[in-house]
Every structure is written in C-alpha cells, then in structure tokens.
Amino acid sequence: MAKHPSASSEAMCKPLLKKLQKIQAEHEDADNPEQQALDSFIALIDYLRKGKAAAAGERMTALTHYLQQNPELNASLSEQLHQYFLGLNIYPVLVNLGIMARRGMLGEMATRLYDRLIPPPHTDNSSLDVLARAFYWRSDAKWLGNITPQHWLRLYSVLAQGASAETLEQVRSHIRNETLYVLEMLSIWLAAEELEPELMRVDRKLIDIDSPFIALQREMHLFIEHEGKRLEDTSLEPFDVAHLWVMLAQCQEQVDRIRRRGRGSSGSSMAMAHLLERLEQTIQRLEVLLGLMAEPSKFTALRRGVMLWQELLHSAVMKNSMLEVWRRSTALVSRSITQNSSDHGEHYIARDKSSYFALFRSAAGAGIIIALMALMKIHIESLGLARLSTTVLVSLNYGLGFVLVHLCKFTIATKQPAVTAASFAAEVERNDRGRAVARKLAVLLIDVNRSQWAAVWGNISTALLTSALLCFGVWWYLHEPLLSVAAAEYQMLAIRPFESMALLYAAIAGVWLFCSGLIAGFFDNRADYVELRARLYHHRALSWLGPERRERFTNYVHENYGSVMGNFLFGVLLGSTSYIGYLLGYPLDIRHVAFSSANLGYASFSEWPSLWGFLQGLFFVLLIGFVNLWVSFSIALQVAVRARGTKIQKFRALFKCIWQNMRENPLHFFFPTVSERGKDK
C-alpha cells in the first residue's frame, strides 16, 4: 500500500523540522529575531541542497505540502521570513548579480579570485550577503536547475497564506520602493556610458546626437517620480510606460549596432566586449524590473518575480566564477576574429576548374620556397649548435619563410583549414537562423576538402621536384649525395607512422595551424580596432612617399597585417615545439605535409630506397597531410561555430548528403568535374 502524501512529506522534511526546532531553541531566550530568520532561511536551502540533485523538485514539493498541512508552522516560518525581508536592502542584489562591474574583465576576474580565496565580511541586512551565505557551492547550480518556477511559486503561495495581510502589504511596498531606486540608478548608469571612449570610437554619431541612453534616463525619471507619488496616493492613475518600452528597445538596438560594427570593420577588444555585455545586462534588468512595476495583474507580477528570483540565484552561485567572466567577455572578440578569418577563407575555396588550377599554381609556387626552407632547417640542425640557438634559427627560418610565401602571394596547403572553417561556420549561421541546411553544407564541405587537397598536391609536387633538382645539382657539382646515408635514413624514419610518432606530431602541427588562424584573425581585428590604415597614412615618417603611394602602402599593411603576423608566429610555433618538449621532458616535434614531402625528396634522391619505398613514403606524407588538415579544420570549425552562437544540427542528414555525393561522383571530392552552374542544377 502506498504511503499517504502527508506521511511521505513528513518523512522527507524530518531533517529540516529538527533543524528548525534546534534554531528555535537556540534563539528562545535571545532577542534576535533577524538572526533566527536568517538561520531558518539557510536551513531551508540546506534541506533542498542535501540529497540527489535530480530529487530537489521532490524535496521542494514535500516541503510545500508539509507547510500546507501544518498551518501553525507555516504561519511562524512565514512571519519570520517576511519580517526579516522588510529589513533587507534589496538594492545590492538587483544591481550586482547578473550585471558585470565597471572594472573590466581583468579587474572583475581578479576581484572574483580574491573574494574566492578570502571571502568578504557579511552583513545581515544585505540581500547580496544573505544569498552569498546560503549559496556557497558551485554544485548548487545542479539542484537549482531541477527546481522550476512553479515549485517556487507554489512554495511562496503557501508561505503567503501564513502571513497577515498587513505584513504582505508592507513587503509589497518595500519591494516597490527598492525597485524604483534600482530603476533610477540603472538608468543613470546607462546614460553615463554614452561618453565612454570605446563606444564613441565605434559610433561617432554618439558625440553629436541625443542617444537613446539619455532619452531613457529622462523618461525613467518621470516614471519614478510619478510612481513615488502613487505609493502615497493610490488614487493616482498608473504611469503610461509605452514610451519607456520604446526607449528600452532603442537602447538595445544601439548596443546591437555597436556590436555589429565591432564584429566588422571597427574591430573589437576585451574592454569593449566587457562594456557591451554590461550594457546589455543592464538593459535586460531594466526590462525585467519595469515589467514587474507596470504589471497590473498581481499573479503575473508574482510569476515574473519568481523568474527573476531564479535568475538571481543562478547569478549568486556563479558570482565568483572567473570562467563565466572570461566566456562572456571573449564572445565578441572571438566573433570578430573568426569573422576576419571567414573573410579570408572565401579566397581558399575552389568551386570550379579555373579557381582549382589557380589554387594549385599558387600552392606550387609555395612548394619551391618550402623545399628551400626544409634544406635550410636540415643544415641548421647539422651545425651542432646549442638547443636554444638551434631553436631560434629554425623558428626564424620557418617564420620568415612563411612570410615570404605570403608576400609572393603563394599558398601553403595547411594554412587553409583555419580560414575555410570560419567560412563554413558563416554558412551554418546564414542557413535557417543557425540550423544548417544539410545539402548546402555538404556541397561546401566537399568544396573545402577539394580545395585543401589541391593546395596539398601543389605543395608536394614542386617540393619534390625542387628537392630532386637540388640533389641532382649537388651530385653533378660535388659528386656526392646531398644527404649522408644516416641523414637520409633519419628523414625516412621521421615520416613513418608505425615506427615513429609521425601522426601525433602531425596532430601537434594541426593545432599550431589552428592557432595561426586565430593569431591572424586577432591581428586583423587589432588593425581595425586601432585604425592602423589611418595611423600609418598620417604618420610623419611616411610623408615623403606622396599621397598615392602612401595610400597604397598603408592599405597593403592594413590588409596584410594579420596574415604576416599569423605566418611569422606560426613559424615560431613550429620551430619551438621540440624545444618546449625538451624543457618539459617530452619527445615533442611537428610533422608538416609540405616539409615532409621535401624531406622525402632529399632522402630519396640522395639515397634511392626503391620505387616501392618512395611510393610508401609518399603515402605516409599524404597521411601526415590528412592529419594536419582535419585536426586544424575540426578545431577551427568548432571555435568558429561557437563564436557565432550557432551549431550544426542534423549531422546524420549532412553525412547522408556527403555519402550520396561520393557515390554519384567520387572524383568530385578531389577534382572539380562539373562547373559551378552544373553543380547548382
């Protein structure tokens, strides 16, 4: 036979009842009702916290039912909590929780770290401190997530039944007074941000126009003044808040406009991202509080209040989370960086034969330079220098070589994934409001794959040819092989995946390739942010060039700033990997498809291994290229999609479309067998 609900509720609430009785006994002789109410509130939260997080809703339901069945306990607890609430300052909670401080991202993170290590002192009449004392575990978010607004609403409805009408009216009046004060302060904060240099840099019209922030503050002042009079004279008509809602919508539009410009040509920064996040949070809080104040229905207002309560509880749990600040503050900058990558990525996607062969020719040019860089690296390592000296020279060889490739407008195959992934993410975002259209994305993914392999073959073919010519030239001139037998065997061993860690090293190179895309996007964003073009154009040192040449020069530097820095630092990352492994005590290294193909050429044409051995080595090089490309592309795609706030849905449909294309035309994955027009049909 099932237990009666009241018996089940009593069993579940038994630990709480004992705790409440103990609190009552402790405060029976002491004249301190505020402390007793605070201890009772913390006991309630501890009761909800203990046990399985998934059962928190059941514990809340049991508590509600037990209080409903025991009116005396309900009346006592309700009077305690309501009377304590009347002495609380609500203002700190409403302006601190869920709204970032003005001190910026680094200042905010430092403050949160300090508060976590050495918590600030608590005061009993501050609502912020009360929540800090009640919700002090990060795991509280789990069980709070299992308590719905309906649970809180039912609990408070039962507690309200136990309080007198006079107490409830006092609580209502206290909430309205505090909320009006918060509305006034938040609107003043918002208006003051108009003169922030970061905002005026992005939107220069703010200097000349009366912004929505100022207009909102003026209208909010009228509303607060009128509602303050209504608290004393209830016969007054409610204030018409229609214009306030329009002002709030215009403020949000202004923030969205600034955010769009930050993602585009104006560039963004951590400080600006933090400021925009703070502005948006302030507007959202104003909307919530205005909705509470202007809502004529008491039940609807109570429901909205409960939803705000849940939001504040979540913010209280995350109050000292540095990860939350980092995630919110970097969202805009990440979007700006990946947007710059996306703009470059379209140039690396071959959709027809002409663009395919253009990409192949560009990659072939890079293969010649890469072969020379690979030979220079072999020579540097043969000098027997100290590890640090070798690392510096190898890093400069890589970095300056990659910059030379870029200046010659050639293409390195593995540089593509970081930028083509951003283009893929942009297509995901454009389709159906973040829901991917499988067919279009499948076609784009095939185009990306084909483009990357076109560049790979371009790099490999000329790198092998150049290394072969150099080997034959040395043999003809010096009558000896370019590499010794030991050096040739070492280069062949380095690309064998089953006898060395070649594929792991290829994955490390793929990670650095991804990082190089982020670095390039960061410096492109930085160039937009600091207005590099205008700075250089007006620099005195360039005045001798004349207007036209100075304009061409500054345009080139501005547009290639990210690419040059990304290529150079990518070379530094590749060159320093083995030294980092040496410092850490791990055998770290990199394998890059273009350099591996050049090394294969030097080893093969210095000490010919046999045709089968050469073909086997070529297969291993392609395997390294596969790992380079798809590790880089996968990470870059994940970051780009997250930065845009979207996601790829229906993976099954996407893979089905890819498989269908593969069955119909397998060669199309590696060569454009149809024209763009034919493909669209």
**Residues 445-470: tens digit of each pLDDT:** 777 777 777 888 889 999 999 999 99
Instruction: Give 635's pLDDT tier (boundaries 50, 70, 90).
Output: confident
Range 616-635 average pLDDT: 88
How many other CB atoms are there within 10 angstroms of residue 524's CB atom?
27
- The mean pLDDT value for 526-532 works out to 81
Among the residue ranges 7-16, 34-43, 122-131, 642-651, the one predicted with the least confidence is 642-651
pLDDT in tens, 399-418: 999 999 999 988 887 666 55
User: What's the pLDDT score for residue 499?
Assistant: 87
For residue range 474-513, list pLDDT tens digits in order: 999 988 899 989 999 999 999 999 888 999 999 999 899 8
Residue 323 vs residue 331, higher pLDDT? 323
211 in helix, strand or coil? coil
- Residue 569 pLDDT: 93
pTM attached to this predicted model? 0.67
- Greatest Cα pair distance in the chain: 109
* pLDDT score at 513: 86
Q: Which two three-digit tokens encode residue 43?
A: 């006991």
pLDDT, position 571: 93
| Location of each CATH 1.20.1080.10 domain in the chain | 339-670
pLDDT in tens, 61-102: 988 898 888 888 888 888 888 888 888 888 888 888 888 777
C-alpha distance from residue 316 to each of 94, 138, 353 (Å): 11, 10, 58
Which range among 5-9, 336-340, 664-668 has the greatest average pLDDT? Answer: 664-668
- Cα first-last separation, the chain: 68
Contact, 446 vs 658, CB < 8 A? Answer: yes
Under CATH, which number does the domain 339-670 receive? 1.20.1080.10
The Cβ of residue 661 has, within 10 Å, a number of other Cβ atoms equal to 18
Q: How large is the angle between the packed helices 416-430 and 502-529, nearest 10 degrees? A: 60
pLDDT at residue 581 greater than cutoff 70? yes
Q: How far is CA 361 from CA 409, 457, 563, 564, 668, in A?
A: 11, 10, 20, 21, 19
pLDDT at residue 121 greater than cutoff 90 = no
Secondary structure of 5-33 in HEC code, one letter for each residue? HHHHHHHHHHHHHHHHHHHHHHCCCCCCH
pLDDT at 207: 65
Give the pLDDT confidence of 557-571 residue by residue, as tens digits: 988 888 899 899 999
pLDDT digits (tens, 9 = 90+) for 137-168: 778 888 888 888 888 889 888 888 888 888 88
Residue with tokens 């309200």: 160
pLDDT-wise least confident of 255-259, 366-370, 469-473 = 255-259
